Homo-oligomer: A and B are copies of this chain.
Amino acid sequence: MARIGCCQLDPVLGDLPGNEARISAAISDAVSAGADVVVLPELATSGYMFADAAEARVAALAEDSPQFARWCALLGDSIAVLGFCELGTDGRLYNSAAVLQSGGVTSVYRKTHLWDREKLIFTSGEQLPPVLETRHGALAVMVCYDLEFAELTRQVAVAGAEMILAPVNWPQFPRPAGEHPGEVITAMSTARLNRLAVAACDRAGVERGQAWTGGTVIVDPDGWIAAEAGPGVGTAVADIDLARTHDKKLTEHVDLLADRRLDLYG
């Protein structure tokens, strides 16, 4: 059983010190609440709505920026996944997610599916999402639009992921009354088709005219919502039995992965 905390924040564009403080407070609160795994939004360090690459570059962090050590120091035995605007050692900008543990940054994943104007600012990652064996489970890390590619989500399920952790910034789209956001529907479908958990940490607020969905959600391995953050800044917390994800059999004769027709898909 792992306790997951998703901290739906409201970063301020370009305000690195303010965002650092918001992230630190959120990590501390989640760890105090017993979260084994803490997820924070995409680009939580910087905000999202950059006018151009030059503006993003000013707000970028390197993997060895001192903020990371300060956040790691808050973690104890917990793990955090944080979306950040990365300045690579190659001088390029990436939309990345860092995996933080008390000893430091243990992994950086660079978003491979860039959304919309991100393509004008960031370089896309060239490595598949990692599946990390940790003390709190086998964790796959993705960023936002990555979740919308079943090719990718299936691949981490086959690789043994028990849970997908995804910093996201979901721009608000219209939807019919009573329906979950489309991205949440896809997260639910992904969970049930692969019997794994999905924790997506969205952001709140409005930034340069862009309203965000505030759709933070933790989905259990059956595809049902275990916790939501609701509107505004807030944290979703859920205890998820990750061991259940090892058994992909729904009935004696149904196995979600073995039933694939790999001979046919070509």
Contact = CB atoms under 8 A, between A and B. Distances in A.
A261 B254 CA distance: 30
Contacts of A178: 178
B185 A253 contact: no
Contact of A120 (B119, B151, B253, B266): B253
B112 A261 contact: yes
Interface in A59-117: 112-113, 115-117
Interface in A146-164: 148-152, 154-155
Contacts of A192: 182, 185-186
Given A189-B185, A193-B148, A117 B253 contact: yes
A264 B189 contact: no
Interface residues of A, number: 45
A222 to B, nearest CB: 8
Nearest to A154: B150
A119 B185 contact: no
B265 A152 contact: yes
Nearest to A187: B189
Given A115-B254, A151-B154, 16 more contacts: A113-B259, A113-B261, A116-B254, A117-B253, A119-B253, A128-B264, A128-B266, A150-B193, A151-B261, A151-B265, A152-B261, A155-B265, A182-B188, A185-B189, A185-B223, A188-B189
Interface of A: 112-113, 115-117, 119-120, 124, 126, 128, 145, 148-152, 154-155, 175-176, 178-179, 182, 185-186, 188-190, 192-193, 222-225, 251-254, 256, 259-261, 264-266
